[in-house]
Amino acid sequence: MHAIRNGLGAFASVAVLLTGIAVAAEVRAAPTPVDEPPVTAPAAEEPENFGASCHTVVQGSHVTAHCRNPYPETDRVRLHVECERWWDVDSDSAPVDVGPAAHAQVTGRCWKEVRSAWVTHQPADRPADQALRPAP
């Protein structure tokens, strides 16, 4: 009986030793933060500090966009209104320049219900034929 206890103790000791070696090998194999390449943000074409903050209000068939520009560059905004009825004409407003620290109000409407409305932004110094970017 004494030999069995000693045999189990030896077996348990060997199992603990092998487990410790396996854990140490895993820890050693894990990459350190120094080994990882540095993460860089992709270069943006436009500065991040651009674009008036706009919110739209729909009241019946009328839509109003209130835009405030907290940035130093002028933002050219347009309101786009999509109407619910198939026969109701969707509309796009004329471009409105919102200067630095300025506020603009742009309106649009449908004959009946409004399906959706959104505002697009474009730097004022960019030609009008370039694509507009939708609001965030």
How does pLDDT run across 42-74, given as a tens digit for each residue? 565 655 678 899 999 999 999 999 999 999 999
Q: What is the pLDDT of residues 75-109, one digit of tens each?
A: 999 999 999 999 999 999 999 999 999 999 999 99
pLDDT exceeding 70 applies to what percent of the chain?
Answer: 57
Per-residue CA distances from 104 to 72, 129, 130 (Å): 15, 22, 22
Q: Specify the higher pLDDT residue, 124 or 67.
A: 67
Contacts of 39 (CB under 8 A, 6+ apart): none
Give the pLDDT of residue 131. 46
**How wide is the angle at C-alpha 61 spanned by C-alphas 60 and 66, nearest 5°?**
85
Q: Cβ(119)–Cβ(56) under 8 Å?
A: yes
Give the pLDDT of residue 133. 53
- For every residue of 58-113, DSSP letters joined together read EETTEEEEEEEE-SSS-EEEEEEEEESSTTSPPEEPPPEEE-TTEEEEEEEE-SS-
Q: How many CB atoms lie within 10 A of CB 34?
A: 5
Reported pTM: 0.58
